[in-house]
Amino acid sequence: MIIACYMISAFCAGLAGISLKGGTGNILGVIIGVAIVRVLYNAINIIGIATTLEFAVIGMVILIGVGADEVIQIVAEKRRIASIKTEITKLDSTVKAV
């Protein structure tokens, strides 16, 4: 049980600090990930949620985090594509003017 707790903490820290698609991240994200997991474990113990549900709650938090990362990556990609299209349009109009 204790080993599983540390493994899940490490996994969440990795998810918080490193993007699943790009592999980019920073130390601050890892620290925040570990802090969130530890606070969540403490809150579960204080509230008195059964140990069997503890992993389900942590799993839901992991799924929410992965989903949020995917949404952020998709939105960032769409913005990047829109920016590139705008630049191409500007260049195209400049070339036509010449």
> Phi first, then psi: what are they for 47, rounded to 5°?
-65, -30
Cβ neighbour number for residue 54 with a 10 Å cutoff: 18
Counting beta carbons within 10 angstroms of the beta carbon of residue 13, is it exposed (0 to 12), middle (13 to 18) or buried (19 or more)?
buried
pTM: 0.64
Tell whether the model's pLDDT for residue 19 goes beyond 90. no
Over residues 20-73, the pLDDT tens digits come to 666 666 777 777 777 888 888 888 889 988 878 888 888 888 788 778 878 888
Domain boundaries, the chain: 2-97
